[in-house]
Amino acid sequence: MTVANMITILRLLLVPVVIYALLTGRMGLAFAGFVIAGVSDGIDGFIARHFNQRSELGSYLDPMADKLLLVSVFVVLGLMGELPVWLVIAVVSRDALIVCAVMLSTVMGNPVAMKPLMISKANTAIQIVLAGFVLAELAFQLDYGPVRPGLVFLSGLLTIASAAAYLVAWLRHMSGYGEGETPDS
């Protein structure tokens, strides 16, 4: 097992710690765990790329760890009333639809290559910023007025746009249209 994969597994183990901290009102611990998870994501990626530690296992574990943390935090923040329910539903639904589309493609004998779209990268970045921002507000009892609603709106917009972009890419893939082209072309 590579060092990069071990760091990713530690990040997976941080998810229940962050969720437990949120559910028990330990906002400082939740924020710290979220930040540590984010930093470890950058470190494991750097190690994998620069020290030739890319692996098939890592290609599955890394995005799984990222999504598990982010979706879990969004769901709990939604249950706490810190994020709007519509946004939590949009985020969870988008990810569930992507997983279902990948599974359906595989079952139908036309597997999809897992390649994130640029809109998806922007979406994930805004979701991380929003989750980190809300956790920081809760941990340090801050109130930045209109910043959170702006981030919520932007996150919702990008989540919907990303879902639509993946749907178009998946439909093109399944129909054979644009074979040899990347989803961003």
Where do the domains of the chain lie? 3-175
Residue 178's pLDDT is what? 61
What whole-number distance in Å separates Cα of residue 74 and Cα of residue 127? 9
Instruction: Decide which of 113 and 14 is more confident.
Output: 14
Residue found under tokens 């639509």: 164
Residue 116's pLDDT is what? 84
Averaged pLDDT, 95-108: 94
Cβ atoms within 10 Å of 46's Cβ, excluding its own: 13
pLDDT at residue 81 is higher than 70: yes
Averaged pLDDT, 59-86: 95
pLDDT at residue 183 is higher than 50: no
Q: In 3-state terms, what secondary structure has residue 148?
A: helix
pLDDT tens-digit map of 150-171: 999 999 999 999 999 999 999 9
The single-letter DSSP state of residue 58 is H
Averaged pLDDT, 56-83: 94
Averaged pLDDT, 108-125: 90
pLDDT at residue 106 is higher than 80: yes
Residue 8's pLDDT is what? 95
CB 12 within 8 A of CB 64: yes
Supply the mean pLDDT for the chain: 93
Can you say whether residue 114 is alpha, beta or left, with left for phi > 0 and alpha for psi between -120 and 50 degrees?
A: beta
Q: Does domain 3-175 have CATH number 1.20.120.1760?
A: yes
